[in-house]
Structure 1
Amino acid sequence: MKQLILFTALIITAAAAPAQQKKKAGNPVFPGWYADPEGIIYGNRYWVFPTFSAPYNQQVFFDAFSSPDLVRWTKHARILDTASIKWARRALWAPSVIEKDKKYYLFFGANDIQSDAERGGIGVAVASKPEGPYKDLLGKPLIDKFHNKAQPIDQFVFRDVDGQHYLIYGGWRHCNIARLNADFTGFVPFEDGVTFREITPEKYVEGPFMFRKNGKYYFMWSEGGWTGPDYSVAYAIADSPLGPFKRIGKILQQNPAIARGAGHHSVIHDAKTDSWYIVYHRRPLGETDANSRETCIDRMYFDGNGLIKPVAITTEGVDPAPLQ
């Protein structure tokens, strides 16, 4: 009888295992109001670094989230806050994290400055682990002025195949690119002497992101108003990170049956499986508060010509994808 019970239990366990393996991540991928998520892979874990979505005076820290498989997420609380950034007082947002020489650098916007006369802009902090704790690298902003009319916010760090790091940033419908120096304390001017080069494509508003695929540079950005239903993501492709970038079209937007205002995204690429994921925020149906934004992940695909297919936003999310 005991052998029969044990045999039956083994059958039930074996039958249940595939169902557990097929469980999807679900959207949002973790609880809480979080926006502007940057996703990236470090080692054997996926990481998401988002904005804590709240009124600006409450946006004084960053949390991070990590996962071995895109389904199970661990929260790393307060990896950076204004106690470690003496010049920042509010509106911490849109973190971008890059690893270099076994250190992790977190670029962030602070204070939502409206003019060159105000203190704030884009800063950078450093840590020995992705989850921090991070400390202010400079003791002052890296960029604290409006260059080419671009508000110094929504920073993204892009590492090219030659090892050169670029900072791509900008709000108020203007986007700049600049070459970071070796220790991320400043910039190296381009050959023509310009430090901040404008690369603004048609309909650009904010939230730039870049990746390289098959020798081409894919530049992505957010369009529309961040509080409205028209918030969305479009893209362009060029032969250089400097462009020129001609808008191809929109690939991420709301679905009124699922959620509104899908935008301010990033992209995760698992090179070992050549799987692409888009990480973005959206506003649940029925939510009217501007800060009621949640972080979601869906698959991103390309057609035979290398163009990005429109993304279908979902409630079920992605399949488990354990990193090897």
Structure 2
Amino acid sequence: MPHSRRTFLQQAAAGLASLALINQAAARAAARTYTNPVYAGQFPDPFVLKHNGRYYAFGTTGQGRTPDGRIFTLLTSDNLVDWKPAGGALTPPTGAEGADFWAPEVVYHNGTFYMYYSMGGGAIGASIGHRLHVATSKTPEGPYTQAALLDVPASKFTIDAHAFQDTDGQWYLFYARDFIDSDNGYRPGTGLVVDKLIDMTRLAGQSRTVMRARHDWTVFEKNRTMPLYGGQTFPEWHTLEGPFVRRHNGKYYCFYSGANFLTPRYGVDFCVADSIMGPYSEAGGGKGPRVLAAVADHVRGPGHHSHVMSPDGKTEYLVYHAWNKEMTERQLCIDKLAWTAQGPRCQGPTYTPQPLP
């Protein structure tokens, strides 16, 4: 074989080998990354429970039902990235036809899983609005059965329940409720409160305000007429919702989502206290969501989140929803949380490949 031809073939073979190595490297790199959304289906208000090394994600279904006739979409995963549908989580309560079911969160205590959520709207909610409920199961995937009403007589609209256990073992319930007054410089709208749990299904009835609206960025809608309050029209209606609490370096951080979830202003901010019952401070906030905010032309409406640790237990992640480009679905996303000198900050929202948890 002529030398020149042999050289050409050797070079071609080397080139093919090099290309193969490049492709293999690209495949390995791809295998070590994820790109949001990690579940490209409708999954609003995501909550993720880690139990015995496995992840269980619960999402709002509204008035809808899962294919098995249950309420709240359930997904499972071993790595926070690859999610498999696992049916529905909650058995529909008797007499709840046409009702909305929102924002499930699940905790495990003394051998029982407790799911907190709100139910209302439709025919049953025409006069009473939304109410908090709790359901129970002996397994994380359910099915859960409604066990109790967690009524807040002072409010016609209570949503987004979040149970938190303090270091002494005492449980507390954070949630969002309506306030229609404008006393002390507050603005009417949905705010955050906390109450002690007598047990996992009963509130103490000693709620304290955690945070109410004071700033322009949390406006939900201007000139909003509210049938629930006798058709009263409010010049501005604000929203703080989706509380989630973390204890860090001896302080209590209450994360929450603010503004209208359809707008680019929607995102996650926080307040902080030395005691679980407060008082809570904005810690320099007020200009917009500092933890998680929209990215123009890429990510819209990131929020209503939960926190969970990575599979190795070393890295904290925010699990949140964000709109698809068509704004037809709120999809499941994850990104790292960092504790900085300025307070907690999400290292996102991301929309490009990121290292696997």
TM-score of the two chains, using structure 2 as the length reference: 0.73
Matched, 1:282 2:282: no
Q: Deviations over 1:285-309 (max 9, x none)?
A: 232x5xx211111111122x37112
Matched, 1:200 2:215: no
- What is the alpha-carbon distance in structure 1 between the residues aligned to residue 41 and residue 207 of structure 2? 36
Instruction: In structure 1, list runs of 5 or more residues that go unmatched.
Output: 1-7, 190-194
1:176 maps to amino acid: V
**Change beyond 3 A, Cα 1:317–1:38:** farther
Correspondence list, 1:39-188, <5 A: 39-52=48-61, 56-58=62-64, 61-82=71-92, 85-89=93-97, 90-112=99-121, 117-118=127-128, 121-138=131-148, 141-143=149-151, 145-147=152-154, 149=155, 151-172=157-178, 173-182=190-199, 184-188=200-204
CA contact (8 A) 1:150 1:170 kept: no
Matched, 1:19 2:28: yes
Q: More deviation in 20-29 or 103-112?
A: 20-29
SS in structure 2 opposite 1:175? strand
Matched, 1:228 2:253: no
1:301 maps to amino acid: A
**Change beyond 3 A, Cα 1:142–1:79:** same
Q: Deviations over 1:167-210 (max 9, x none)?
A: 1101432222111123x231235xxxxx2222224456211110
- What is the alpha-carbon distance in structure 2 between the residues aligned to residue 81 and residue 146 of structure 1? 26
- Larger relative contact order (C-alpha < 8 A, sep ≥ 6)? 1
CA contact (8 A) 2:47 2:305 kept: yes
CA contact (8 A) 2:55 2:80 kept: yes
SS in structure 2 opposite 1:137? strand
Map of 1:300 onto structure 2: 337
Map of 2:186 onto structure 1: none
Map of 1:4 onto structure 2: none
**Shift, 1:58, TM fit:** 2.6
Map of 1:242 onto structure 2: 277
SS in structure 2 opposite 1:19? helix
Q: Deviations over 1:242-298 (max 9, x none)?
A: 1211113321111122121111111113496431111111112232x5xx2111111
Count, aligned residues? 292
SS in structure 2 opposite 1:62? strand
- What is the alpha-carbon distance in structure 2 between the residues aligned to residue 112 and residue 245 of structure 1? 31
**Shift, 1:16, TM fit:** 6.0
State percent identity of aligned pairs: 28
- What is the alpha-carbon distance in structure 1 between the residues aligned to residue 33 and residue 255 of structure 2? 27
1:312 maps to amino acid: G
Instruction: In structure 2, list runs of 5 or more residues that go unmatched.
Output: 1-16, 179-189, 215-238
**Shift, 1:151, TM fit:** 2.1
**Shift, 1:78, TM fit:** 1.1
**Change beyond 3 A, Cα 1:142–1:88:** farther
SS in structure 2 opposite 1:266? strand
**Change beyond 3 A, Cα 1:230–1:286:** same
SS in structure 1 opposite 2:254? strand
Structure index of larger Rg? 2
1:129 maps to amino acid: T
- What is the alpha-carbon distance in structure 1 between the residues aligned to residue 63 and residue 74 of structure 2? 20
**Shift, 1:76, TM fit:** 1.6
Map of 2:40 onto structure 1: 31
**Change beyond 3 A, Cα 1:119–1:233:** closer
**Change beyond 3 A, Cα 1:210–1:105:** same
**Shift, 1:39, TM fit:** 2.0
Larger fraction in strand: 2
Map of 2:222 onto structure 1: none
**Change beyond 3 A, Cα 1:157–1:198:** same
SS in structure 1 opposite 2:302? strand
CA contact (8 A) 1:28 1:295 kept: yes
